[in-house]
Amino acid sequence: MSRAADGDNPDRIPWYLTAVLFASTSVIVGIIWDISWHRTIGRDSFWTPAHLAVYTGGLAAGLSCGWLALKTTFSGTDTEVGRSVRMWGFRAPLGAWVAIWGAIAMLTSAPLDDWWHNAYGLDVEILSPPHVVLAMGICAIQLGALLMALSWQNRASERGQRLLGLAYAYSAGLLLLTLAVLMLEYSFPNDWRGPTFHMISAGVYPVVFFAVGRAARLRWPATWTALVYMGMTLLMMWVLPLFPAEPLLAPILRNVDRMVPPEFPLVLIVPAVALDLLLRRASQPGRAPVRRSVDWGLAALGSVAFVGLFGVVHWYFGEFMLSEGSRNYFFQGDTWGYNNAPGPWQYEFWNGGRFSRGEISVPDFLSRAWWALPIGFVSARVGLWVGNWMLAVRR
C-alpha cells in the first residue's frame, strides 16, 4: 500500500480546519465582546473574559497549525506532503502558515497593548498601534482559515463540495465581520448618509464578495457570506445586553446597567444577492468565465449594483435607526457607551464628520459620494482577480 492511500478524505472537514474555524470564531467574538466591555465597564484588567476569548483563539490557531506543520514535515503521507508548502524547512498547507503568522502577531500584540493602556489609559479609537498589530493577526488567522477551507473545497469531489463550500463561506463571513468591526468608527447609523461611509464601504466589501463568489463551489456564496456576518452580529447584539454591568472607569457620562451591544449590522444581504446573480450570469460557481475580459464589465456592473443598492437601503434604513421605532431589544437603536455624553447628536446624521450634522439633500449627497462608484469598481475588479487566483489553490 502506498503512503498516499493513507491520506485524508478530501470530502470531509479535517479536525485542524475545525480548530482554525473555532479560532477564527473565538477571536472575533472576543473582539466584539471587548469593544462592548470598553463601552460598558472600561478597562479594569488585562485578564478580562473578552481578552481571554481573543487569545484562546490565537493559541488554538497557532497550536493546531503548528502541530500540522510538524506532523506534515516529519510523518506526513505523500498526499499530505504534496499539498503542502515548504517554509523555514518545514511543510504545511498555505493557510496554516498564514494562521501561524497571525497567531504570532496576535500574541505579540498582547504585552504591547497592556503597556499602551498602562501608559496612555483608555483607547480613544479602535485602531491604536497595538490594535493594528492585533487586527493584522486576527485577519491573518481568518484568512488562513479561509485558505484552508478553500484548498479542501477545491480538492473535494462533487459530493463533498457543498459542505466544504459552506465552511469556506463561513470563514469568509467571519473575515467580513472583522473588516466591518475595523470600520466601526465610520459605520454608525448616524454615518449612513455621509459620503465617507459609502466610499469606505465600496472599497472594503465588494472585494470580499467577488473573491468569495468567484471561487466558491456553492450556490449563492456572497449571500451566505453576508448571512454569516449578519447572523454573528445579531447574535452578539442580542446576547450581550442580557448581562448586567456598570462602568468602573471615570468619567461616567451616561448611566449604563447592561453590556452595551454592537450596532445593528449593515444590510449587506441586499447587494450580496445582486452580486451573486451577476456572478452566476458570468460563469458557473467555482469557475472563471471563458473570456477574462468579461471580468471588467462584471466589475463595472457590480460596482453600480453594490453602490446603488447599498446606498438606497442605508439611506432609508438609517432614518429608521435614528427614530424611536428602533429603540427596542430587536434593533437596539440608540445604545451608547458610558463615556458618550447624551445629546441631540445621537438622533442626527453626521454628514461627512462628527461635527457636521443635520439633514442632507439627495443631490448634495450624490455630488460628494459619487467617488464610491470608481472605488467600488476597483474593489470588485481586485476581488475577481483574487477569486481567479483562489480557483487554483490546492495546497
Give the C-alpha separation, 8 to 27, whole Å: 28
Nearest to 143 by CA among 93, 95, 110: 95
14, 146, 274, 387 from 153: Cα distances, Å = 12, 10, 24, 14
**Residue 304, Cα to own-chain centre: how many angstroms?**
22
Other C-beta atoms within 10 Å of 287: how many? 13
Cell numbers 496554516 correspond to 96
* pLDDT mean across residues, the chain: 85
Q: State the Cα angle at 61 between 80 and 176, rounded to 5°.
A: 105
The pLDDT value given to residue 44: 62
105-114 mean pLDDT: 74
Q: What are the structural domain ranges in the chain?
A: 10-182, 186-395
Tell me the DSSP string of 100-121: HHHHHHHHHHHHHHHHHHHHH-
Per-residue confidence band for 91, with pLDDT thresholds at 50, 70 and 90: confident
**Where is pLDDT greater, at 80 or 19?**
19
Per-residue confidence band for 290, with pLDDT thresholds at 50, 70 and 90: low
Q: What percent of the chain has pLDDT over 90?
A: 40
Per-residue confidence band for 355, with pLDDT thresholds at 50, 70 and 90: very low
For residue 3, pLDDT over 60 is answered with no
Query: Which tens digit of pLDDT belongs to each residue from 298-326?
Result: 999 999 999 999 999 999 999 999 999 99
Q: The pTM is what?
A: 0.88
For residue 1, pLDDT over 50 is answered with no
Grid cell of 88 as nine digits: 523555514
For residue 116, pLDDT over 90 is answered with no
